[in-house]
Structure 1
Amino acid sequence: MSVRLVLGVVLGLVAGAVLPASGASAATTVKVLQLNICHSGLVGCFTGDRVITKARAVIGANRPQVVSVNEACAGDVEPLRQAMGAARAVFVAAEHRNGTPVTCTNGQSYGNIIMVAEGLAGTTGQTGRYTSQDTSDEMRVWACLPAGVLTACTTHLSARSGSSALAQCGELMARAVGYAASGPVVVAGDMNLRYQGNPNVQDCNRSGFYRKGDGSVQHVFASTSLAFVSGTKISMSGTTDHPAWLVTTTLS
């Protein structure tokens, strides 16, 4: 699996900036918000920029420390990061087989975002393309922001092949196990896999981690150093075809 060090797309405030409540009010609380915003314009769930307005409102109301966003355009990074306050972000574009980025209908690169509150975030992101892929021309990818107080990753797995999605999930969770040697880890995304489905998303879980899903295809995996508190589905009011999925944990 190739790994790309990401420097230019890691966005943040200058060192020493005063942190807002999203990063500092309760240092032991880690809320992980998973969003699939269907903002590419390529499929029927697209509702235009209404979804960005709604996502910003959900972020502002729930004040998560980690936000995972799927089916985003590159231009969505900054407005969503601003909704978090002081945060760092990594964007990874899905790729065609020839290595060029998949694009939204507005011409921007299409892919996934991982954002972490400044007080918890590392400084250098990593992204990669999975070894296992289905037969479509969209190559699935992952992005992580490691080496902070915690490591956070996002992904959007194959929608065409359950076996490919499970293999991709296994690849990313193997990486998560490596990150967990240095501290807490969360992995979030639209996995296109269901609990007790065929295949079963639980089969890609690893020792030292647990999984919490929204009852459908969005899941958060967390290392056991993050104690589970609650999981909450949040309506996106018809702006996308998935609810927001909020998992609250505490550092133990």
Structure 2
Amino acid sequence: MRVGLAAMAVAVGAMMIGAPLDAPAATSTVKVLQLNICHSGVAGCYTGERVMTKAISVISSTRPQVVSVNEACSGDVERLRAAMGPASTMFVAAQRPAGNPVLCVNGQEYGNIIMVAADLAGGPGVSGRFTAQDSSTEMRAWACLPAGVLSACTTHLSARDSSAAMAQCRELLARAVSYAGTAPTVVAGDFNLRYQGNPNIQNCNPAGFYRKGDGSVQHVFATTSLAFVSTTRIDMSGTTDHPGWLVTVTRG
């Protein structure tokens, strides 16, 4: 499952930012922010710099400990991390069938970002391409930052084939279950699956986890060791076709 392609390895390695040696004491409140910023330049929801300005503002104002970003360009990572503060950060590119990365119109790699605040982060990240894929030329991928005080993953699942999306969801949540034995774990992203849809994303929820969705296709899964506090739907002011989705939990 680990990505072995040189292009992606370089991208992932370049985007890793380690926690400082003197990290502050870990907070018990954990805010998980999910964003789909539609920043490839290809889709009709693209609004250019407007969405980056809005995303930076949302991160700065909500002060999350975990941020998951879908439909991002590799050059977006550091700008978003700067808004968050000290964090371990990983970018994973979606791939073409031959293994080369999908590109944004600006030539940067296109994919997903996961960021975890330095006081919660652990070791190096891992990423991979799902076993199940649809018939498009965009191969969906996942990225995780495991082994810290908290483990976290992000993904953006198939939009063309809901059966493939469900298989992808189950594959990633099985990985999350393996992390949950070591630390509380969250998985966030645009799953392109709905609650009570066909298939129903709730059928992807494993034992020991619960799910909080935005009423559409964005969801956060969390281990039951993280007590649920609240959810907040964030208006992105027309800069993307998805709201921001903030889930607040606490660690026991």
TM-score range (shorter-chain normalised) is: over 0.9
- Write the deviation string for residues 20-57 of structure 1: whole angstroms up to 9, x where unpaired: xxxx6x71100000000000001100000111110010
- Write the deviation string for residues 112-142 of structure 1: whole angstroms up to 9, x where unpaired: 0000000001130000000000000000000
Q: Distance in 1 between matches of 2:247 and 2:20?
A: 28
TM-score, with length taken from structure 1: 0.95
Aligned residue in 1 for 2:63:
63
After TM superposition, the structure 1 = structure 2 runs for residues 1-252 of structure 1, keeping only pairs within 5 Å, are 1-3=1-3, 7-12=13-18, 14-16=20-22, 19=24, 27-252=27-252
- Write the deviation string for residues 52-86 of structure 1: whole angstroms up to 9, x where unpaired: 11001000111000000000000000000000011
* CA RMSD between the two structures: 1.3
Residue identity (%) = 69
Unaligned runs of 5+ in 1: none
Q: In 1, are the aligned partners of 2:2 and 2:126 still within 8 Å (CA)?
A: no
Q: Please state how far the C-alpha of 1:223 moved relative to its aligned partner.
A: 0.4
What is the aligned length? 246
- Write the deviation string for residues 162-213 of structure 1: whole angstroms up to 9, x where unpaired: 0000000000000000000101000000000000000100011000000000
Q: Please state how far the C-alpha of 1:89 moved relative to its aligned partner.
A: 0.5
Q: Distance in 2 between matches of 1:225 and 1:205?
A: 15
Q: Please state how far the C-alpha of 1:12 moved relative to its aligned partner.
A: 3.5
Secondary structure in 2 matching 1:82: helix
Amino acid at match of 1:16: D
Q: Please state how far the C-alpha of 1:2 moved relative to its aligned partner.
A: 3.9
Q: Distance in 2 between matches of 1:48 and 1:100?
A: 24
Q: Distance in 2 between matches of 1:101 and 1:124?
A: 21
Amino acid at match of 2:248: T
Q: Please state how far the C-alpha of 1:14 moved relative to its aligned partner.
A: 3.4
Q: Distance in 1 between matches of 2:19 and 2:118?
A: 8
Unaligned runs of 5+ in 2: none
Q: Distance in 2 between matches of 1:102 and 1:3?
A: 15
- Write the deviation string for residues 91-114 of structure 1: whole angstroms up to 9, x where unpaired: 000000000000000000000000
Q: Distance in 2 between matches of 1:55 and 1:161?
A: 28
Q: Distance in 1 between matches of 2:3 and 2:78?
A: 24
Q: Distance in 2 between matches of 1:9 and 1:244?
A: 23
Q: Please state how far the C-alpha of 1:88 moved relative to its aligned partner.
A: 1.3
Q: In 1, are the aligned partners of 2:19 and 2:121 still within 8 Å (CA)?
A: no
Q: Distance in 2 between matches of 1:108 and 1:155?
A: 18
- Write the deviation string for residues 210-229 of structure 1: whole angstroms up to 9, x where unpaired: 00000000000000010000
TM-score, with length taken from structure 2: 0.95
Secondary structure in 1 matching 2:15: coil
